[in-house]
Amino acid sequence: MNQTQIDPIAFQAARETAVLTDRSDLGVLIFSGATRFDLINRMSTQKVLAMPKGAGTATILTTDIGRIIDRLLLYATDDKVYALTSENNNDNIARYLMRFVFFQDDFHIQDVTNDTVIFGIYGPQARQKLVQAGFPDEELPLHQWREVPFGDVTAYLHRTDPIHGDGYFVMGQEKDRAALWQRLLDAGLVVADAAAFDYLRIEAGLPRFGRELSQEYIPLEANLWGDVSFNKGCYIGQEIIARMESRGKLAKKLVKLTADAPLEAGSELQANGKNAGTVTSTAVGPHGTIGLGYVKTSVLDSGSELMVGDTAVHVNS
């Protein structure tokens, strides 16, 4: 059974100080042209009519039946919008969006994934550690960003989804990877490898592409309510999402799980011998087996015991 294992040093640092992890597998696309906001707005869940330089937001591309294609993090400059796609999904998203560019659109995509480095900094002292690394001591709102020069090296600081209290991206050019990494290490950040990061994001309840973010689920089921505007114009998938919001009842919901023994992602959850949902992510660490999964709301409301085979599974609020 393939199980994610976490370094106990990174586990402790994420709770007490902050950790540093390489997120450069995220895709980076640049949208430009006069109708860049118009196209993003008509294609995704968030109201994105304009953003000033330094602003950002999260938005979701959905199918015509409201299922998740990907979650994009958007960052605006004066004349461009940078979009972070999920891991290794930049090419798919670029091709998907270009299918909806019409003759009257002034919209262009540049893929700069291979030229960009992205580091994630997470934990209760993330901001303090970044200040020690020379970044400005500024309370950035979620998804906003600032350009920070360090001599010949330019970095971009972004506030992102928190893990254990806070989260930031430090982005820059691939050629500056070693310099930026060393600057962050010198601030006393503890490195969390890919396995440790996956454990931490499962523990935080953050959905991941290919696991919790897929065309099996809609954004509201994934607890991504903040990425959806309910007072904007039409977008692909709006009718289904609006209907589910207005009814106030979801068929299933993403929840955090613990288990009495290791689990396998993709396992069927059962309650009283009947299908109750699916385990989407799982990992083993100092606190045992944790996971994320979609569970039917009727089962959650009833409080029925969940099982995967002979293993008891518990919803962790």
What is the pLDDT at residue 1? 41
Distances (CA, A) of 179 to 16, 19, 175: 26, 18, 9
Residue indicated by tokens 């999964």: 293
Residue 9 domain flag:
no
Residue 291 belongs to a domain: no
On whether residue 228 sits in a domain, the answer given is no
User: Do 48 and 83 touch, CB atoms closer than 8 A?
Assistant: no
Q: What was the pLDDT predicted at 287?
A: 83
Q: Enumerate residue ranges in the chain where pLDDT < 50.
A: 1-2
- Biggest CA-to-CA distance, the chain: 63
Structure confidence by residue, pLDDT tens digits, 68-103: 999 999 999 999 999 999 999 999 999 999 999 999
**pLDDT in the model for residue 248:** 84
Q: Indicate whether 116 belongs to any domain.
A: yes
Can you give the pLDDT at residue 2? 44
* CA pair distance 92, 81, nearest whole angstrom: 18
Residue 210 structure tokens:
């290919």
The secondary structure of 269-304 as a DSSP string is: EEETTEEEEEEEEEEEETTEEEEEEEEEHHHHHHTP
Q: What is the domain count for the chain? A: 1
The confidence score (pLDDT) of residue 7 equals: 81
**How far is the C-alpha of 236 from the C-alpha of 226, rounded, in Å?**
18
Q: Is residue 12 part of a domain?
A: no
Backbone φ, ψ for residue 194 (5° rounding): -60, -40
Q: Which long-range contacts (CB under 8 A, 24 or more apart) does 245-248 make?
A: 245/220
Please tell me the predicted confidence (pLDDT) of residue 4.
52
Residue 297 covered by a domain? no
Q: Count of CB atoms within 10 A of residue 68's CB?
A: 25
**Residue 161's domain spans which residues?**
18-188
User: Residue 140 maps to which CATH number?
Assistant: 3.30.1360.120
Measure CA 258 to chain center. Answer: 21
Would you say residue 298 lies in a domain? no
Q: Where does 139-210 show beta strands of DSSP type E?
A: 145-150, 153-163, 166-173, 190-191
The four Cα atoms 261, 267, 271, 273 give a dihedral, to 10 degrees, of -110
Joined together, the tokens standing for residue 62 give 């959905």
Whether 51 maps to a domain, the answer reads yes
